[in-house]
């Protein structure tokens, strides 16, 4: 049977529309689940014993400073100095051995925090933070944390808070400023749509974190 032009168009557009709806749905659910749990000002955020700093590289591939990193460090230091957190879990990965070049995010975060006046004694380095899922679950299962303040950019905080709620952790987020470079913001926030789809796939499949290293 020969299909009409309308039937062909419908067959093409239906799965495309379904995918778009799924992407938007995943994004919206995560946003709604974190509603009222993220804060922009230190004065507004309640005290929580532990802050979870989600890692990123201190520099972008061309060697320029990574303003997402810089702003997360500044936000974490501000929280500590305002007595809103007592300890900090810096969670990231060590990519310094990559042939293409990379950084030890943990050492960079620790040194940057100390340079901002945060005592080294309150910083815990979590080398399993190569995925947000690892960072969240390890905070509870290894470090025994039931309440955390997550520090990253707002869109990342929302996803991390959703993950925390799925794993029995009471979490709030402190929003570090995004990069002032518009193209960087568009790129990172655009990728978040697909990161949230992956989040729901992991939840449906029961994806478990993998811990390979101990705290240092």
Residue 81 maps to a domain = yes
Q: Which of 143, 39, 156 is nearest to 88 (CA)?
A: 143
**156 lies in which domain range?**
7-205
Residue 215 maps to a domain = no
Global pTM reads 0.89
Per the structure, the count of domains in the chain is: 1
Residue 1 maps to a domain = no
Residue 213 maps to a domain = no
**Residue 141: CATH number of its domain:** 3.40.50.620
- For residue 173, give Cα distances in angstroms to 13, 29, 46, 159: 38, 17, 10, 10
Per-residue pLDDT of the chain (216 residues; tens, 9 = 90+): 677 878 888 888 888 999 999 999 999 999 999 999 999 999 999 999 999 999 999 998 888 999 999 999 999 999 999 999 999 999 999 998 877 778 899 999 999 999 999 999 999 999 999 999 999 999 999 999 999 999 999 999 999 999 999 999 999 999 999 999 998 899 998 999 999 999 999 989 988 888 876 554
């Amino acid at each position: 049977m020969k299909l009409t032009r309308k039937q062909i168009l419908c067959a093409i557009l239906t799965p495309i529309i379904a995918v778009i709806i799924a992407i938007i749905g995943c994004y919206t659910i995560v946003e709604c689940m974190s509603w009222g749990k993220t804060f922009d000002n230190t004065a507004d955020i309640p005290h929580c014993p532990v802050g979870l700093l989600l890692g990123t590289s201190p520099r972008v591939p061309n060697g320029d400073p990574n303003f997402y990193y810089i702003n997360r460090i500044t936000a974490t230091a501000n929280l500590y100095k305002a007595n809103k957190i007592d300890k900090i879990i810096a969670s990231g990965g060590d990519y310094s051995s990559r042939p293409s070049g990379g950084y030890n995010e943990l050492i960079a975060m620790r040194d940057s925090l100390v340079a901002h006046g945060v005592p080294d004694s309150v910083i815990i380095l979590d080398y399993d933070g190569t995925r947000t899922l690892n960072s969240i679950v390890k905070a509870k299962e290894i470090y025994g944390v039931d309440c955390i303040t997550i520090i990253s950019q707002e869109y990342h905080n929302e996803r991390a808070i959703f993950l925390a709620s799925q794993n029995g952790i009471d979490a709030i987020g402190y929003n570090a400023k995004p990069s002032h470079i518009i193209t960087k913001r568009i790129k990172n926030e655009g990728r978040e749509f697909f990161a949230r789809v992956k989040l729901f796939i992991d939840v449906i499949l029961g994806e478990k974190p993998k811990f390979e290293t101990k705290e240092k």
